[in-house]
Amino acid sequence: MTRIIEKNRKQLKEAIRIYRYEQGHGYDETIKHFEKEFGRKMARKVYNELRDEMQDKEQKKFIADLDSDSWGCIPPLSEATTTPFSKIVDGGDCYRYIRMDEPGLTVSDGMVGIKLSQPTKTVSGSRVKLVVGLPDLHLPYKPETALAPSAKAAIKWCQDNKPDEIVLMGDFMSFKCISHWDAMYPGRKKNDFLSRDIQHGNYVLDMLQGITSKITYLRGNHEAWLDQYRDKDPQARDGIYELESVFRIYDRRIDLIPENVEYRVGKSMFVHGHRVGMYHARWTADDFGENVFYGHTHDIQSHSKSKRAGSEPIIAHSCGCLCDENPDYLRNKPNRWAAGFLIMYGRDDGSFTYYVPQIVGGRFIGLNGKEYAG
Ligand SMILES: [Fe+2]
Ligand SMILES: [Fe+2]
């Protein structure tokens, strides 16, 4: 009898894993889906077990990352010294970009050596990981300018504080030039070119890779526009219009997360966001049932979900945007967009402290009292 229950439990856990984490259904939806057959109590219990196991796995990976201490080499030297960023071979067949003026870089006989890991920060004996979330950059800001002033200010903060990881929270690119929304206004597109937008995107990715070696890129709905554009023309299906190829995602060793799939960091998750409307933070908290940080709405809003006595709080927080807050397609209409980004310090146990500074007029003051202006 016990063996049968155990077998059912294992099957249920695997089914929940696929339904929740591979197919991307929300927490409430998952429980509802399985409670008919297994009962609500059992479905929730097994769900919680699975979530803890996955967090444990993530945490071990996080600690392993902190402990990693690798060296790289890059021939030839002439190529390395002519560009601010260069590929560095890490072990065998993997490589990533480094700044050639990075402190600790040693150069000799055409080989470059550098300690690749960030110095470990500690608080009360616990190692601390700094993760920055950059929501909705919608590159480029203007046809000739990659970054909005708010984005420049946020990146300056990153340059000062050297995050262990930067998460692009979706809509990194605008892809306005191929937008279906502007199809009836061809005049708006006369200064836009896809190739130039892609150049802007690569320029900013180069810049971010000069700050940190770990970039995670969440696809947003604007990234999906590139897929839609490709699908309209069979001749375009040769990789030219694939995000992976135009941004050399694999060469850069960037983790690309599919649209609407959550990316976990300790006891929180990052998503691009799918809800809009007055109470999107509340609805997002209900959808995920866990701490969740998101963009997409371009405003700053948070909602803490009611919880059992003694359990940890759950919060959903939209982190603003880093784009033009009055784009031409809004035709000067009032909106509630607000510039901001996410600063998160995580502990070994997955817990974290976060801040979402609001950027007004391209300026904000960091917690150290220093002003950052774009
Ligand atoms: Fe957006
Ligand atoms: Fe979006």
The answer to the question of residue 174 being in a domain is yes
Q: Which residues pair with 342 in a beta bridge?
A: 133
114: confidence class by pLDDT, cuts 50, 70, 90: very low
The predicted model gives 53-77 an average pLDDT of 45
Residues 277 and 358 in one domain: yes
Alpha-carbon gap, residue 308 to 248, rounded angstroms: 46
Q: Does position 34 have pLDDT exceeding 80, yes or no? A: yes
Residues 53 and 186 in one domain: no
Q: At residue 206, what is the residue type?
A: D
- CA distances, 63 to each of 67, 165, 192, 343, 347 (Å): 6, 14, 44, 20, 10
Measure 44 CA to ligand 2 centroid, in angstroms. 31
119: confidence class by pLDDT, cuts 50, 70, 90: very low
pLDDT for 331: 82
The answer to the question of residue 253 being in a domain is yes
Measure 298 CA to ligand 2 centroid, in angstroms. 8
- CA distances, 252 to each of 104, 121, 202 (Å): 21, 26, 10
pLDDT for 237: 62
Looking at all shown ligands, the one closest to residue 221's CA atom is 2
Residues 221 and 365 in one domain: yes
pLDDT for 58: 55
Measure 208 CA to ligand 1 centroid, in angstroms. 19
Q: Does position 178 have pLDDT exceeding 70, yes or no? A: yes
Number of domains in the chain: 3
The answer to the question of residue 270 being in a domain is yes
pLDDT for 288: 94
Question: In this prediction, what percent of the chain has a pLDDT beyond 70?
Answer: 75
Residues 91 and 45 in one domain: no
Alpha-carbon gap, residue 356 to 281, rounded angstroms: 14
Which bin fits 202, alpha (ψ -120 to 50), beta or left (φ > 0)? alpha
The answer to the question of residue 144 being in a domain is yes
Residues 84 and 103 in one domain: yes
Q: Does position 256 have pLDDT exceeding 50, yes or no? A: yes
Q: Does position 83 have pLDDT exceeding 80, yes or no? A: no
CB atoms within 10 A of CB 342: 25
Q: Does position 158 have pLDDT exceeding 90, yes or no? A: yes
Measure 136 CA to ligand 1 centroid, in angstroms. 5
Measure 322 CA to ligand 1 centroid, in angstroms. 9
Measure 79 CA to ligand 1 centroid, in angstroms. 37
- Contact status, residue 146 vs residue 200, Cβ threshold 8 Å: yes
The predicted model gives 232-252 an average pLDDT of 79
Measure 220 CA to ligand 1 centroid, in angstroms. 7
Contacts of 45 by beta carbon, 8 Å cutoff, 6+ apart = none
Measure 295 CA to ligand 1 centroid, in angstroms. 7
Residues 318 and 293 in one domain: yes
The answer to the question of residue 118 being in a domain is no
Measure 325 CA to ligand 1 centroid, in angstroms. 11
The answer to the question of residue 325 being in a domain is yes
Burial 29-57 (b: 16+ CB within 10 A, else e): ebbeebeeebeeebbbebbeebbeeebee
Residues 177 and 261 in one domain: yes
Contacts of 89 by beta carbon, 8 Å cutoff, 6+ apart = 72, 73, 74, 95
The predicted model gives 107-131 an average pLDDT of 59
Residues 257 and 211 in one domain: yes
Residues 186 and 145 in one domain: yes
Measure 273 CA to ligand 2 centroid, in angstroms. 7
Report the alpha-carbon angle 370-165-24, nearest 5: 125
Measure 240 CA to ligand 2 centroid, in angstroms. 23
Residues 212 and 328 in one domain: yes
Residues 78 and 199 in one domain: no
Helix intervals (H) in 134-267: 149-161, 194-209, 221-232, 243-246, 249-252
pLDDT for 49: 86
Measure 218 CA to ligand 1 centroid, in angstroms. 12
Residue with tokens 């340059």: 159
The answer to the question of residue 320 being in a domain is yes
53: confidence class by pLDDT, cuts 50, 70, 90: confident
The answer to the question of residue 180 being in a domain is yes
Looking at all shown ligands, the one closest to residue 272's CA atom is 2
Alpha-carbon gap, residue 83 to 95, rounded angstroms: 16
Measure 301 CA to ligand 1 centroid, in angstroms. 15
Q: Does position 39 have pLDDT exceeding 50, yes or no? A: yes
4: confidence class by pLDDT, cuts 50, 70, 90: low
CATH number for the domain that contains residue 136: 3.60.21
- Contact status, residue 218 vs residue 263, Cβ threshold 8 Å: yes
Closest C-alpha among 242, 171, 172, 239 to residue 208: 172
Alpha-carbon gap, residue 324 to 322, rounded angstroms: 7
Q: Which two tokens stand for residue 23?
A: 């197919």
Q: Does position 218 have pLDDT exceeding 90, yes or no? A: yes
Q: Which two tokens stand for residue 177?
A: 């030039």
Residues 246 and 344 in one domain: yes
Q: Does position 350 have pLDDT exceeding 80, yes or no? A: yes
- Contact status, residue 95 vs residue 87, Cβ threshold 8 Å: yes
Measure 321 CA to ligand 2 centroid, in angstroms. 10
Q: Does position 81 have pLDDT exceeding 90, yes or no? A: no
Alpha-carbon gap, residue 372 to 368, rounded angstroms: 11
> What residues make up the domain containing 101?
72-113
Least confident range of 21-35, 82-96, 124-138: 82-96
Give the global pTM. 0.69
Looking at all shown ligands, the one closest to residue 137's CA atom is 1
3-state secondary structure of 95: strand
